Amino acid sequence: MPDCIFCRIAAGEIPATVVRRSGDAMAFRDLDPRAPTHVLVIPTAHVAAVRDATGSDGESLLGRLLQFAAEVATDLGLDAGGYRLVTNTGPDAGQSVAHLHLHLLGGRRMSWPPG
Ligand code: AMP
């Protein structure tokens, strides 16, 4: 997906502050952080949103992404205080980049429900 900003970050064509990479995922700092720690976890191959990760390949990808995000949280020292993982899907949720991503947010107390 040449016009996808997160595909371009995954390909190294757009700079990002990369926190960790795995075989098929990467984590980088959000440009507009909403918490002291705000990292985006993406699959390096294009998947538009969580609803598009279908079938057995999608099932294993989502499992790996969640596990990878938990490892990143540990690396960043978030286990003691805890953290939030969010994936926005579609306009009602406010998804602005059509490439599946998990927001990993931590470092402050959060409210519920989200706005
Ligand atoms: P969402 O609104 O859930 O689709 O989240 C997209 C996120 O991507 C937002 O939090 C943006 O701040 C973030 N973002 C957009 N462009 C970049 C970029 N080039 N590098 C890092 N984060 C970005």
Q: Quick: pLDDT tens for 19-69.
A: 999 999 999 999 999 999 999 999 999 999 999 999 999 999 999 999 999
> Ligand 1 test: best mutation among 6, 30, 88, most atoms within 8 Å of CB?
30
**DSSP codes, 2-38:** TT-HHHHHHTTSS---EEEE-SSEEEEE-SS-SSSEE
Q: How far is the CA of 33 from the centre of ligand 1 (A)?
A: 9
Tell me the C-alpha distance between 114 and 31, whole Å. 20
Count each helix (H run) and each strand (E run) in the chain, helices first.
2, 5
Residue 7 tokens read as: 């595909």
Residue 106 is inside which H or E element, if any?
A: strand 102-106
pLDDT band at 115 (very low <50, low <70, confident <90, very high): confident
Walk me through the domains of the chain, giving residue ranges and CATH numbers.
5-106 (3.30.428.10)
